[in-house]
Structure 1
Amino acid sequence: MKGQMDTQFGKILIDEDVIATYAGSVAVECFGIVGMAAVNMKDGLVKLLKRDYLSHGINVTIAEENKITLDFHVIVSYGVSISTVSDNLIETVKYKVEEFTGMQIEKINIYVEGVRVID
């Protein structure tokens, strides 16, 4: 389902991929996030996605009344507090995506798929 807003001039439709790409670019700027992860369901392997494919690590669901649910599959830096990184990610993404879309974030789920040592 696409996000929809009505204006005096007509409707604005926002595709889920647009929201996923924007949310992914916001997420990788957060402290402790190395990148988005793609999980191969067949063999369970996790792969770090390049910047061009950030939206593949995010699932966006838009429910009734334009309420957004985001599922992030992330890889975090070694040695950071996952709880702190997750809280920062949630706050930052919630603020920026709501500001960007004009829609409300209902829920953000974070799945830590791996840890990377950064040189």
Structure 2
Amino acid sequence: MSAALKNDLGTITYTEDYIASIAGVSAMECYGLVGMSQKNITESITNLFKGDNLKKGVKVKTDGSENLVVELYITVKYGVSLSAVAENIIDKVKYSIEKETGLNVSSVDIIVQGIQF
């Protein structure tokens, strides 16, 4: 499903892939984040052949309106404060998506799937 933003001139439709790419790039700019993790084993196998890393570990939920829920599956660096890293990622991703699209991000959920030593 895609997200739509209506204005006086018409409707702008954003695909979930586009929004996921914005979220992935924004998250990777944050300190303490080592990388994005796969959401499940099927995605791991699929992405081996696709080579699409911008959306890796990002899940976007929308009901077709202007509201979004973003889930990020991440791997963090050992020794950093998980709460500080997560808060930084949430703020950065929410700001980037809202700035670039004009859509409302209701929540950004962080799922820590690994720690790299």
Maintained 8 Å contact 2:3/2:64 = no
Amino acid at match of 1:73: Y
1:8 CA drift (Å): 3.6
1:110 CA drift (Å): 0.5
Instruction: Return the structure number with greater relative CO, CA threshold 8 A, min gap 6.
Output: 2
In structure 1, list runs of 5 or more residues that go unmatched.
43-50
Q: Does 1:90 align with 2:90?
A: yes
What is the TM-score when the length of structure 2 is the normalising length? 0.84
RMSD: 2.2
Maintained 8 Å contact 2:68/2:106 = yes
1:77 CA drift (Å): 0.7
Number of equivalences: 111
Amino acid at match of 1:35: G
In structure 2, list runs of 5 or more residues that go unmatched.
43-50
Q: Counterpart of 2:37?
A: 37
Distance in 1 (CA, whole Å) between partners of 2:30 and 2:15 is: 24
Task: Decide which structure has greater strand share.
Answer: 1
Note the 1:12-91 alignment, pairs <5 A.
12-41=12-41, 52-63=52-63, 65-91=65-91
Maintained 8 Å contact 1:36/1:54 = no
What is the TM-score when the length of structure 1 is the normalising length? 0.83
Maintained 8 Å contact 1:74/1:112 = yes
1:12 CA drift (Å): 1.2
Distance in 2 (CA, whole Å) between partners of 1:8 and 1:90 is: 31
